[in-house]
């Protein structure tokens, strides 16, 4: 990485490594604070988009503007702006200076911006869009009202939701990863919100990566133990306590593996924990080597990791609420009636009473047939083309007037 840290405020002349593209290139900038060394779905979405654009839309120059430990440019389209680390934030950083963020966005001279949060980057994106006269898309990865209710108290949900909606109403197009979140936005007055389910790399996340015996040896498990897996941060909204409570009710021969929770996982003699797995191929191998994927968050915006598990041939036990319920049904797993240990244990037992291999094969088929990244990014480019009038996106529908 080319380190260009300075001790003065960012100026339009800084970051000389950012070479101007050819004149016929269209510039797309993604910006979000939800991007960290150990982040999951949002980072995977952005890296997958970047790879797809390079292969399928060569006239689109894609740049990421994200928080980092220093001001830098990596020479490959990622601009980092210094932001202080969040305490207990699992590597996430909180940008504070909106003006500096706006300046960096303007320096990229984008034709369109996609903001992946309603925080400082999202607000700076709106200001930059106004300054440049370019459209700004708001991709909603988080239901702030529900998070506020969980972490602060139910009294906080409505005022936070009101502020959340006020930001997303300003975007030229609001996009959500599920009908669940799109519906929440529409209910809050964001009437241009649409649901666009995310995708999965079905070649990377593949049943052939399984090595059940090796994983069980690594974990010290007997071959006949039933191994459930959850991968993700040990955040409160993930409801890891429900998963542990369910597996403790079930007892022998069920075991629960947390991937990415590290020392933040609940302690139980029925649970095991691995640290964050940076290599997605290694993660795919772990997932494919387990018996079923479990996910207890009843307010999950989408749950990209659920699709990745399905692509690996795993049946899924989720909750009949939130975004996960849009991907999972009785054909590919089981849905607990509510997110509590007893109901979840019943759903797990119901799954293991079925032909697990057949359900896992159905999960793999659904991931392949409904959730390829190609369809997702073609639709997204259609939106970009409609807003910008630029045919390079392959989705030209009308010119935007400013």
Nearest partner of 125 among 82, 167, 176, 183, judged by Cα: 167
**Section 178-193 average pLDDT:** 93
Whether 150 maps to a domain, the answer reads: no
What pLDDT is stored for residue 106 in this prediction?
Answer: 96
Phi/psi at 201 (5° precision): -85, 100
> How many folded domains does the chain comprise?
2
Do residues 353 and 382 both lie within one domain?
Answer: no
**Range of weakest confidence among 82-91, 97-106, 195-204, 328-337:** 82-91
Whether 177 maps to a domain, the answer reads: no
Distance from C-alpha of 134 to C-alpha of 188, rounded to nearest angstrom? 25
What pLDDT is stored for residue 6 in this prediction?
Answer: 32
Do residues 133 and 255 both lie within one domain?
Answer: no
Do residues 231 and 334 both lie within one domain?
Answer: yes
pLDDT tens per residue, range 311-334: 999 999 999 998 999 999 999 999
**Range of weakest confidence among 42-51, 331-340, 353-362, 390-399:** 390-399
pTM, to two decimals: 0.84
The answer to whether 27 and 18 have CB atoms below 8 angstroms apart is no
Whether 154 maps to a domain, the answer reads: no
Do residues 17 and 53 both lie within one domain?
Answer: yes
**Section 126-152 average pLDDT:** 83
CB atoms closer than 10 angstroms to residue 234: 17
State the residue range of the domain holding 96. Answer: 2-139+372-393
Confidence band of 260 (pLDDT split at 50, 70, 90):
confident
**CATH code for the domain in which residue 104 is found:** 3.40.50
Phi/psi at 192 (5° precision): -95, 15
CA distances (Å), 70 to each of 10, 67, 73, 175, 330, in order?
12, 8, 10, 30, 48
Do residues 276 and 289 both lie within one domain?
Answer: yes
The set of residues, in sequence order, having a beta carbon less than 8 Å from that of 206 and lying 6+ positions away, is: 284, 288, 311, 312, 313
Do residues 331 and 303 both lie within one domain?
Answer: yes
Confidence band of 276 (pLDDT split at 50, 70, 90):
confident
């Amino acid at each position: 990485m080319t380190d260009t840290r300075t001790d003065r405020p960012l100026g339009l002349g800084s970051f000389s490594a950012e070479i101007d593209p050819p004149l016929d290139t269209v510039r797309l900038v993604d910006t979000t604070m939800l991007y960290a060394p150990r982040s999951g779905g949002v980072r995977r979405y952005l890296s997958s988009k970047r790879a797809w654009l390079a292969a399928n839309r060569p006239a689109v120059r894609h740049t990421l503007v994200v928080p980092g430990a220093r001001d830098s440019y990596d020479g490959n389209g990622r601009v980092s702006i210094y932001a202080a680390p969040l305490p207990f934030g699992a590597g996430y950083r909180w940008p504070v200076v909106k003006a500096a963020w706006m300046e960096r966005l303007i320096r990229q001279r984008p034709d369109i911006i996609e903001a992946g949060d309603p925080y400082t980057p999202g607000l700076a994106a709106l200001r930059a869009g106004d300054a440049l006269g370019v459209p700004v898309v708001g991709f909603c990865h988080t239901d702030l009202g529900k998070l506020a209710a969980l972490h602060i108290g139910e009294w906080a949900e409505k005022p936070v939701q009101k502020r959340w909606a006020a930001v997303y109403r300003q975007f030229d197009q609001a996009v959500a990863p599920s009908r669940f979140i799109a519906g929440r936005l529409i209910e809050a007055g964001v009437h241009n919100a649409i649901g666009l389910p995310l995708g999965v790399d079905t070649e990377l996340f593949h049943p052939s990566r399984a090595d059940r015996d090796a994983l069980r040896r690594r974990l010290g498990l007997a071959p006949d133990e039933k191994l459930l897996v959850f991968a993700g941060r040990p955040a409160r909204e993930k409801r890891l306590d429900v998963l542990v409570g369910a597996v403790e009710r079930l007892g022998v021969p069920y075991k629960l593996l947390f991937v990415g929770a590290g020392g933040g996982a609940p302690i139980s003699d029925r649970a095991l924990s691995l640290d964050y797995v940076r290599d997605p191929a290694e993660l795919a191998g772990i997932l494919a080597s387990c018996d079923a994927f479990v996910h207890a968050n009843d307010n999950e915006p989408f749950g990209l990791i659920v699709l990745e598990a399905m692509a690996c041939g795993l049946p899924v036990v989720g909750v009949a609420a939130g975004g996960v319920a849009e991907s999972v049904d009785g054909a590919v797993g089981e849905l607990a009636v509510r997110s509590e240990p007893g109901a979840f244990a019943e759903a797990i037992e119901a799954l293991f009473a079925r032909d697990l291999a057949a359900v896992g094969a159905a999960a793999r088929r659904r991931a392949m047939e409904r959730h390829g990244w190609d369809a997702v990014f073609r639709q997204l480019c259609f939106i970009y083309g409609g807003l910008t009038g630029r045919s390079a996106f392959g989705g030209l529908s009308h010119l935007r007037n400013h």
